[in-house]
Amino acid sequence: MSENNNDVLLKVEHLSMYFGRGKAVNKAVNDVSFDIKKGEVFGLVGESGCGKTTTGRTIIRLYDATAGSVYFKGERIVAGTGHYLDEIKELREKIKQLSSDSSDHSKEIDEAKERIAELKKEVSQAKKDHKNADRKLVNKIQMIYQDPIASLDPRMTIKEIVAEGLQIQGVKDKAYIEQQVIKMLETVGLVSEHATRYPHEFSGGQRQRIGIARAIIMKPELIIADEPISALDVSIRAQVINLLNDLCKSMGLTILFIAHDLSVVKYFSNRIGVMYYGNMVELAESDELFRHPLHPYTRSLLSAIPLPDPHTEKGRERIRYNPLTDHKYSTEKPEFREVCPGHFVRCTLEEFDEYVKKVQE
């Protein structure tokens, strides 16, 4: 979706992550595609349970993707086989039906068999790419977790927590490790004396700074910030956001910023993707999304942002989103379409025409 592929640091293609089997399957992430340009902050928003965190964790390989691919710096680091296997299953059913028919379907059967052979090669290549992904490259992606206390081992000192990544990578120079730990702590606004303490001795904001130090000590190129401020007091949130902003500039970081607070995302992000029920429903530049929110779910989210003026707030009307009444998906399935340059919406052709008119008004 980026105009210049040389600028794309991370590319997500048709990513799906399902939990469970059969009728009990939960499509936490369903056919999601987007890319992140080098040096930008990409906001991923939506209500709790929409699949934001699962998307981030699948990208960093904490989960094995059901289907789809993730490319980082042009290399495939995540490869799921689900879409290929589903198509193989459908083609085998088709061959079975055609074979039972008395008419001659030999040409169609041969074509289906050829396609199955191609898909098997794709499955084999996907498994190979996923298994043999360059670990050094994957380590250039780090994650900041939502709950700062749950993500820090209470039995480890701050020095041990922050240094753990370097030690796993095989760094054995104790003087170098200590130097880097102190440098990172000072970078995030802490002091060297904090290195010998334990997580329970710190406030929520300080713990999150420790989590950030643990991530940046690995010298990443991409950070996945999974709702890094949602567990913090309002007074501390701005400090953490400003810290991440400063790190972006000083270290040249790219950030996937996962949140449900749209007002924060607008301030911090260059582009925003909106997720609902596992699907990406809208994607646009930050200013464009707030200027022309097209998908009814996006408009519903924006209507929920509280206003600082009590008189205006009293008269604010919430927009309710009901997918059963707001869409007509019975006749046509929605697809991700580009309404105007850089602005994508999941919609039917009929909805697409309406959205184009809205943008042109």
The per-residue pLDDT for range 18-76, each reduced to its tens digit, is 998 777 889 999 999 999 999 999 999 999 889 999 999 999 999 999 999 999 999 99
Which one-letter amino acid corresponds to residue 29? V
Digit-coded pLDDT (tens) for 191-211: 999 999 999 999 988 999 999
List Cβ neighbours of 330 (8 Å cut-off, separation of 6 or more): none
Four-CA torsion 232, 233, 235, 236, nearest 10 degrees = -20
Q: What local confidence, expressed as pLDDT, does residue 2 receive?
A: 45
Alpha helices in 132-157 (DSSP H): 135-138
Average pLDDT of the segment spanning 247-258:
93
With b for 16 or more beta-carbon neighbours within 10 A and e for fewer, the 348-357 pattern comes to beebbeebee
Phi-psi region of 14 (alpha: psi -120 to 50; beta: other; left: phi over 0): left
Q: Is pLDDT above 80 for 5?
A: no
Q: Is pLDDT above 60 for 4?
A: no
Q: What local confidence, expressed as pLDDT, does residue 3 receive?
A: 46
Q: For the ranges 157-171, 176-190, 255-269, which has the lowest average pLDDT?
A: 255-269
pTM of the model: 0.90
Question: What SS3 state is found at 20?
Answer: coil
Digit-coded pLDDT (tens) for 94-134: 999 988 887 888 899 999 999 999 999 999 999 999 999 99
Measure CA of the first residue to CA of the last residue in the chain; give whole Å.
Answer: 25
Q: Are 258 and 244 in contact (CB under 8 A)?
A: no
Q: What local confidence, expressed as pLDDT, does residue 122 receive?
A: 94
Strands (E), the chain: 8-19, 26-37, 41-45, 67-72, 75-79, 141-144, 222-226, 254-259, 271-276, 279-285, 335-340, 343-347
Q: What local confidence, expressed as pLDDT, does residue 6 receive?
A: 61
Q: What angle do CA 261, 39, 74 make, to 5 degrees?
A: 110
List Cβ neighbours of 94 (8 Å cut-off, separation of 6 or more): 108, 112
Q: Are 56 and 285 in contact (CB under 8 A)?
A: no
List Cβ neighbours of 32 (8 Å cut-off, separation of 6 or more): 12, 14, 15, 16, 51, 55, 68, 275, 278, 279, 280
Q: Is pLDDT above 90 for 1?
A: no
Burial class (CB in 10 A: 0-12, 13-18, 19+), 96: exposed
How far apart (Å, rounded) are the C-alpha atoms in residues 319 and 276?
15
Phi-psi region of 212 (alpha: psi -120 to 50; beta: other; left: phi over 0): alpha
> How far is CA 78 from its chain centroid?
13
Q: Are 222 and 255 in contact (CB under 8 A)?
A: yes
How far apart (Å, rounded) are the C-alpha atoms in residues 12 and 8?
10
Strands (E), 46-95: 67-72, 75-79
Which one-letter amino acid corresponds to residue 278? G
Residue 315 burial (CB count, 10 A): 8
